[in-house]
């Protein structure tokens, strides 16, 4: 191997330094570049070279096209006299034999003379042979490192730990007993959870509606154009990590249980996949029925009895939110009601629902009885689910036996697909068994939450969760609210707990003791 214009080193007094690391992480979290430059500068000082420029970059050593290298070659070409190019090690020039040979030639043709503190470059056959051997060794070391890294990542993935880029809503942290693993980061995790569950349930009918929801949250990261790209949304919807499972198709890993805490259930994840694949029919939802207008569809027009719609109206400088009646034959059609007014008056109604301690004491015994009944029901249901899991395992074994006997690839693939589908069913049943066996919250906490709601539904309504707001509407009011423009709400019909509460407070009725309910025995 010979190189054009490979100059004698005698008489050259000026030099360049070229330093390279493989990744941005090595550049920002280590001292690889600084160490290389320091060693090259020391070498230049010993040889009496004047270093006139330093070039550095973070890029793979197997690539030929490199911004820093191209800049250095242009710099060399602008100088008539040859310059020494100092590299710390042959691996810093390239980690691939073909790349090394090509870059070595380009440096020589541009007027550069390659030198290194760690080896001697020359044009004689022995020097070229050693140079090629070292370049081949550097390539072998790169490939071997990649294999070792891949094997470590594969083994850790099999143990339930994600080893690639953290999905939105998670980040890597050192956890005792686990090492680096995914942990949820707020408020992003809650935003992603609400988005995924909303798409699964049909609250977001299209990916475009989910995109709009995500872009409304400042905490959700944007792309370079300031929005959330549909590619990112699709990846988020297809990501099994949010359900606590790992899929790595290139390693033939599917539905491996992960160690990190999931955001959604596997059943919710499957509903999302069914929607993406066109298998799930979601009833169309009305547009604007979003967190912007929580009362939309729940408040009716006094004149015609139809529900109010809502919209944003664009002014000269900004948009303004309004509720209004859309009925064509209604005299109030199109006459807007400010969002802050109609929702403010609604909050006044919620604030007027005052708690009664006597009602709370009676409610506790009823709730505790219902709690015990529900636990017994869940235990019975769990036993049925366990039987279903056993049946699924039996079917899987049957298909595995058929695979062993089958010869045709198409038949084998059909059996494998069936086994994978059965495994998905088993995972969903396992989730349901876990939830049936253990209540998500103890009775004391559930009772406290229920009493907090009865005592102050306005507090729950004031949360940022759209689902919480809709829940308040369903649990508090027995029918839709009627609104008169410029006057306000008509008297609302509350649900039974609040109705009894109102009667107790007004003195129209009183709570009776146990002996008033049935004859003593």
d(CA 232, CA 238): 10
d(CA 188, CA 246): 20
Each residue's pLDDT tens digit, 200-257: 988 888 888 888 889 888 889 888 778 889 889 999 999 999 999 999 988 888 888 9
Task: Indicate if the pLDDT at residue 311 is higher than 70.
Answer: yes
Each residue's pLDDT tens digit, 150-191: 888 899 999 999 999 999 999 999 999 899 999 999 999 999
**Residues 130-158, mean pLDDT to the nearest whole number:** 87
What sign for the dihedral angle of Cα 41, 43, 45, 51? Answer: negative
Each residue's pLDDT tens digit, 402-454: 887 788 888 888 878 888 888 888 887 777 777 665 665 666 665 666 666 76
The helix (H) or strand (E) run that includes residue 15 is strand 14-21
* pLDDT averaged over every residue in the chain: 81
User: Which pLDDT belongs to residue 511?
Assistant: 39
Regarding predicted confidence, which is higher, 171 or 456?
Answer: 171
> Would you state the torsion angle of the CA atoms of residues 337, 343, 346, 352, taken in this order, to the nearest 10 degrees?
-140
Of 38-42, 144-148, 469-473, 509-513, the poorest mean pLDDT is in 509-513
* Number of residues in the chain: 521
CB-count burial class (<10 Å; 0-12, 13-18, 19+) for 262: buried
Task: Indicate if the pLDDT at residue 502 is higher than 50.
Answer: yes
d(CA 311, CA 321): 6
Task: Indicate if the pLDDT at residue 501 is higher than 60.
Answer: no
CB-count burial class (<10 Å; 0-12, 13-18, 19+) for 292: middle
Query: Which residues are bridge partners to 15 per DSSP?
Result: 51, 84
d(CA 347, CA 331): 27
Q: Which of 9-18, 44-53, 351-360 has the highest mean pLDDT?
A: 44-53
- Report CA-CA distances (Å) from 505 to 500, 508, 511: 9, 8, 11
Task: Indicate if the pLDDT at residue 277 is higher than 80.
Answer: yes
Angle (CA) 40 42 44, round 5°: 70
Regarding predicted confidence, which is higher, 325 or 401?
Answer: 325
User: Which pLDDT belongs to residue 1?
Assistant: 42
Write 138-144 long-range contacts (CB < 8 A, 24+). Answer: 138/61, 138/90, 138/91, 138/94, 138/95, 138/96, 138/100, 139/62, 139/95, 139/96, 139/97, 139/100, 141/91, 141/95, 142/61, 142/62, 142/91, 142/95, 142/96
d(CA 117, CA 103): 19
Residue 311 DSSP class: E
**Residues 477-484, mean pLDDT to the nearest whole number:** 90
Q: Got the DSSP string for 207-255?
A: HHHHHHHHHT-TTSPP-TTSS--HHHHHHHHH-GGGGTEEEEGGGTEEE
Model confidence at 26, in pLDDT bands (50, 70, 90)? low
User: Which pLDDT belongs to residue 476?
Assistant: 83
Residue 172, classed as helix, strand or coil, is: strand
| Strands (DSSP E) found in 258-317 | 299-301, 309-314
The helix (H) or strand (E) run that includes residue 399 is helix 357-405
DSSP-derived pairing of the beta strands 309-314 and 319-324: antiparallel
Of 180-184, 277-281, 369-373, the poorest mean pLDDT is in 369-373
User: Which pLDDT belongs to residue 191?
Assistant: 92
Task: Indicate if the pLDDT at residue 503 is higher than 60.
Answer: no
d(CA 350, CA 195): 28
d(CA 516, CA 87): 96
User: Which pLDDT belongs to residue 7?
Assistant: 40
From the list 373, 325, 251, the residue with the least C-alpha distance to 485 is: 325
Model confidence at 149, in pLDDT bands (50, 70, 90)? confident
Regarding predicted confidence, which is higher, 506 or 94?
Answer: 94
d(CA 164, CA 170): 12
Nearest-10 crossing angle of helices 357-405, 496-506: 170
Q: What percent of the chain has pLDDT over 90?
A: 31
Residue 460, classed as helix, strand or coil, is: helix
What sign for the dihedral angle of Cα 324, 327, 330, 331? Answer: positive
Instruction: Kindly list the strands in the beta sheet with 481-484, ordered across the sheet, starting from the edge strand earlier in the chain.
Output: 299-301, 481-484, 488-489
Residue 112, classed as helix, strand or coil, is: strand
Task: Indicate if the pLDDT at residue 10 is higher than 60.
Answer: no
Q: Write the CB contacts of 511 (distance below 8 Å, at least 6 apart in sequence).
A: 358, 359, 362, 504
Model confidence at 287, in pLDDT bands (50, 70, 90)? very low
């Amino acid at each position: 191997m010979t190189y054009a214009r490979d100059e004698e080193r005698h008489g050259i007094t000026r030099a360049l330094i070229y330093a390279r690391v493989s990744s941005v992480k090595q550049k920002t979290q280590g001292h690889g570049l600084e160490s290389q430059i320091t060693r090259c500068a020391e070498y230049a000082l010993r040889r009496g070279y004047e270093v006139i420029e330093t070039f550095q970059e973070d890029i793979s050593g197997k690539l030929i096209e490199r911004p820093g290298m191209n800049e250095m070659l242009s710099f060399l070409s602008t100088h008539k006299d040859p310059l020494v190019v100092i590299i710390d090690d042959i691996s810093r020039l390239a980690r691939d034999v073909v790349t090394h040979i090509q870059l070595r030639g380009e440096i020589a043709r541009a007027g550069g003379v390659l030198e290194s503190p760690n080896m001697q470059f020359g044009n004689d056959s022995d020097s070229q042979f050693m140079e090629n051997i070292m370049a081949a060794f550097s390539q072998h070391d790169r490939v071997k490192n990649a294999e070792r890294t891949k094997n470590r990542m594969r083994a850790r993935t099999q143990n339930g730990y994600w080893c690639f880029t953290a999905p939105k809503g998670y980040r890597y942290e050192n956890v005792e007993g686990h090492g680096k693993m995914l942990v949820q980061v707020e408020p992003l995790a809650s935003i992603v959870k609400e988005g995924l569950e909303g798409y699964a349930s049909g609250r977001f009918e299209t990916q475009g509606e989910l995109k709009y929801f995500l872009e409304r949250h400042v905490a959700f990261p944007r792309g370079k154009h300031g929005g959330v790209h549909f590619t990112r949304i699709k990846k988020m919807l297809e990501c099994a990590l949010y359900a606590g499972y790992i899929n790595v198709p290139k390693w033939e890993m599917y539905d491996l249980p992960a160690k990190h805490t999931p955001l959604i259930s596997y059943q919710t994840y499957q509903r999302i996949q069914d929607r993406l694949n066109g298998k799930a029919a979601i009833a169309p939802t009305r547009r604007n029925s979003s967190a912007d207008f929580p009362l939309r569809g729940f408040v009716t027009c006094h004149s015609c009895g139809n529900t109010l719609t809502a919209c944003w109206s664009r002014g000269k400088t900004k948009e303004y939110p309004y509720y209004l009646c859309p009925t064509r034959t209604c005299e109030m059609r199109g006459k807007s009601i400010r969002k802050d007014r109609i929702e403010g008056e609604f909050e006044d109604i919620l604030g007027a629902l005052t708690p009664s301690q006597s009602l709370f004491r009676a409610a506790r015994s009823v709730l505790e009885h219902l709690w015990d009944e529900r636990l017994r029901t869940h235990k019975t249901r769990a036993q049925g689910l366990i039987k279903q899991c056993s049946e699924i395992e039996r079917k899987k074994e049957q298909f595995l036996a058929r695979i062993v006997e089958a010869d045709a690839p198409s038949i084998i693939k059909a059996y494998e697909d069936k086994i994978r589908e059965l495994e998905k069913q088993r995972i969903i049943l396992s989730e349901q068994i876990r939830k049936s066996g253990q209540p998500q919250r103890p009775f004391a906490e559930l009772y406290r939450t229920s009493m907090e709601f009865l005592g102050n539904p306005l507090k729950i309504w004031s949360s940022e969760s759209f689902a919480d707001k809709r829940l308040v509407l369903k649990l508090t009011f027995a029918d839709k609210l009627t609104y008169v423009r410029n006057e306000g709400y008509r008297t609302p019909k509350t649900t039974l707990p609040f109705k009894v509460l109102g009667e107790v407070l007004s003195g129209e009725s009183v709570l009776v003791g146990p002996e008033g309910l049935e004859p003593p025995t």
